Structure 1
Amino acid sequence: MTHIFLLGSYAPSLINFRGPLIRDLLAAGHRVSVGAPDIPGDVRSALEAMGAMVYETPLERRGTGMRADLAYYRVLKRILLRIRPDALLTYTIKPNIWGAFAAGSAGIPSYAMITGLGYAFTEAGARLSTRQRLTGMAARWLYRAATRRSERVIFQNPDDRDDFIRGGCLVDPAKAAMIDGSGVDMEHYSRAPLPDAPVVLMIARLLAAKGVRDYAAAAFAVRASHPSARFLLVGPFDEGPDSIGREEVEEWVADGLEYLGPTDDVRPVIAQARLYVLPSYREGTPRSVLEAMAMGRPVVTSDAPGCRETVKHGVNGLLVPVRDSRRLAAAIVHLLDNPMEVEAMGQAGYELVALKYDVKQVNRAIMDIMKLSASREDHDDAQK
Structure 2
Amino acid sequence: MPTKPRLLFVITEDWYFVSHRLDLARAARDAGFQVGIATRVGACADRITAEGLELFPLRYMRRSSRNPWIELRAVHELSALYKRWRPDIAHHVAAKPVIYGGIAAQNARVPAVVNALAGLGFVFTSASREARALRPLVSRAYRIAMRHRRSRLIVQNTADEEVVLQRGLIAPSAVTRVAGSGIDVSVFQPSAETPGSPVIMLVARMLRDKGIYEFVEAARIARARGVSARFVLVGDTDLENPAAIARDQLERWSGQGDVEWWGYRADMAEVLRSSHVVCLPSYREGLPKVLLEAAAAGRPLIASDVPGCREIAIHNETGLLVPPRNATALADAMQTLASDSLLRRRLGQRARELVCSQFTVERVNAQTLQIYRELLSE
TM-score range, shorter chain: over 0.9
Report if aligned partners of 1:196, 1:274 keep a CA contact under 8 Å in 2.
no
- SS state of the match for residue 50, structure 1? coil
Question: Residues 308-338 of structure 1: CA distance to partner in whole angstroms, max 9, x if unpaired?
Answer: 1112210110111111110111011111121
Does the alignment pair 1:52 with 2:53?
yes
Question: Residues 112-163 of structure 1: CA distance to partner in whole angstroms, max 9, x if unpaired?
Answer: 001011233227xx3x13x332233321111111111261101100101111
- Tell me the CA shift for residue 192 of structure 1: 2.3
- SS state of the match for residue 232, structure 1? strand
Q: Tell me the distance in 2 between the aligned counterparts of 1:36 and 1:265.
A: 23
In the other structure, the counterpart of 2:82 is 80
Residue from 30, 55, 67 that aligns with 1:27: 30
- Supply the AA of the counterpart residue of 1:13: Y
Residue from 289, 308, 311 that aligns with 2:310: 308
In the other structure, the counterpart of 1:140 is 139
Q: What is the aligned-residue RMSD (CA, Å)? A: 1.8
- Tell me the CA shift for residue 195 of structure 1: 2.5
- Tell me the CA shift for residue 255 of structure 1: 3.1
- Tell me the CA shift for residue 260 of structure 1: 0.7
After TM superposition, the structure 1 = structure 2 runs for residues 284-295 of structure 1, keeping only pairs within 5 Å, are 284-295=286-297
TM-score by length of 2: 0.93
After TM superposition, the structure 1 = structure 2 runs for residues 4-153 of structure 1, keeping only pairs within 5 Å, are 4-37=7-40, 39-40=41-42, 42-58=43-59, 59-108=61-110, 109-122=112-125, 126=127, 128-129=128-129, 131-149=130-148, 151-153=151-153
Report if aligned partners of 2:218, 2:328 keep a CA contact under 8 Å in 1.
yes
Q: Tell me the distance in 2 between the aligned counterparts of 1:252 and 1:50.
A: 40
Question: Residues 211-235 of structure 1: CA distance to partner in whole angstroms, max 9, x if unpaired?
Answer: 0001101111111233531011011
Does the alignment pair 1:282 with 2:284?
yes
In the other structure, the counterpart of 1:192 is 191
- Tell me the CA shift for residue 298 of structure 1: 0.4
Report if aligned partners of 2:318, 2:348 keep a CA contact under 8 Å in 1.
yes
Moved more, 349-358 or 54-63: 54-63
Q: Tell me the distance in 2 between the aligned counterparts of 1:199 and 1:367.
A: 39
In the other structure, the counterpart of 2:174 is 175
- Supply the AA of the counterpart residue of 1:7: V
Structure 1 residue ranges (4+ consecutive) displaced by more than 6 angstroms after TM superposition? none
Report if aligned partners of 1:194, 1:296 keep a CA contact under 8 Å in 2.
no
Does the alignment pair 1:215 with 2:215?
yes
Report if aligned partners of 2:216, 2:258 keep a CA contact under 8 Å in 1.
no
Q: Tell me the distance in 2 between the aligned counterparts of 1:48 and 1:246.
A: 32
Gaps of 5+ in 1: 374-378
Report if aligned partners of 2:99, 2:142 keep a CA contact under 8 Å in 1.
yes
Report if aligned partners of 1:278, 1:300 keep a CA contact under 8 Å in 2.
yes
- Tell me the CA shift for residue 196 of structure 1: 4.0
Report if aligned partners of 2:234, 2:265 keep a CA contact under 8 Å in 1.
yes
Q: Tell me the distance in 2 between the aligned counterparts of 1:165 and 1:64.
A: 27
In the other structure, the counterpart of 1:231 is 231
- Supply the AA of the counterpart residue of 2:145: A
- SS state of the match for residue 271, structure 2? helix
Aligned pair count reads 368
Report if aligned partners of 1:96, 1:112 keep a CA contact under 8 Å in 2.
yes
Report if aligned partners of 1:120, 1:140 keep a CA contact under 8 Å in 2.
no
Report if aligned partners of 1:20, 1:185 keep a CA contact under 8 Å in 2.
no
- Supply the AA of the counterpart residue of 1:192: S
In the other structure, the counterpart of 1:318 is 320
Q: Tell me the distance in 1 between the aligned counterparts of 2:5 and 2:292.
A: 31
- Tell me the CA shift for residue 63 of structure 1: 1.3
Q: Tell me the distance in 2 between the aligned counterparts of 1:243 and 1:33.
A: 30
Percent sequence identity over aligned pairs: 31
Report if aligned partners of 1:183, 1:359 keep a CA contact under 8 Å in 2.
yes
In the other structure, the counterpart of 1:376 is none
